[in-house]
Amino acid sequence: KLFTQAAEQGLAQSQHALGHCYAGGKGVVRDDEKAVELFRKAADQGFAAAQYNCGFCYTTGRGIAQDHAAAALLYRQAAEQGDASAQYALGYCHAQGKGVEQDRATAARLYMQAAEQGNASAQHSLGLWCMMGFGVAHNLADAARNFRLAADQDHAMTQSLLGFLCEHGHGTKRDLGEAVRLYRAAAAQRDVGALARLGVCLEKGRGVA
C-alpha cells in the first residue's frame, strides 16, 4: 500500500519497487503488463534500475512485445549511469547484434566495465572472450583470473571452465585437487559439463584421495 501511494505520487524508486511486486506477484496478483508500465514510468525519470528492468522486459517479451532495439536503448541509458547489469546486457546485445550493430570490441569494453563492478555474468563472459580471443587479445591467464572472480560467486558454468583450466594448467598452475573441487561445486548446481568432467576425474583417480 505504501509503495502504491508513493508510486502514485510519481516517486521513481517506489514505482520501480511496485513494478517488482507486480512482476513477482509479491503482495499483489502478478501482472506483467502493470510491471512494465511502472518500470517505464520510473525509467522515464532516469531511474537506472528501472531502465534495466524495462529493457529486460523488452528483451524477453514479458508484459510487452519483444523489441531488441528498445531494450538496447534502455540498457544504454542505464549503462551510462554505471548500472552493472545494464552494462552486461548492452554488451551482450553488441556481442550478438541484437537491437544494435554487432561490435565485439564494444561488447568487450562493456563486459569489462560490468566485471569491474563484480557482475558475475560479465566476469564469465569476459573470461570466455579472453580464452577465445573475441574482442580482446587471447590470454589464458586473464581468462583464469576473470573465471576465478565469477566462480567465487558460485557461477556454475564458470566453475566448470575454471576447473578445466586448473586440470590442464592452462593460464594457471595445474592443480587437480582444485579442479575437482570446482567440478564438484558446479556439479552441485547441475552443470552438465562439470558432471562429465568430475566423472572422468573420479574414474581415473585424478585430484581425489
DSSP string, 21-85: HHHHTSSS---HHHHHHHHHHHHTTT-HHHHHHHHHHHHHTSSS---HHHHHHHHHHHHTTT-HH
Provide the CA 151 distance to its chain's centre, in angstroms: 13
How far is Cα 192 from Cα 195, in angstroms, rounded to an integer? 5
What pLDDT shows up at residue 7? 67
Cβ atoms of residues 22 and 32 within 8 Å: yes
pLDDT above 90 coverage of the chain, percent? 92
How far is Cα 137 from Cα 119, in angstroms, rounded to an integer? 21
Provide the CA 187 distance to its chain's centre, in angstroms: 20
Q: What is the pTM of this model?
A: 0.91
Nearest to 156 by CA among 132, 131, 122, 120: 120
Q: Which residues of the chain have pLDDT under 70?
A: 1-7, 9, 209
What pLDDT shows up at residue 6? 66
**What dihedral do alpha carbons 130, 131, 134, 139 form, nearest 10°?**
50
What pLDDT shows up at residue 128? 97
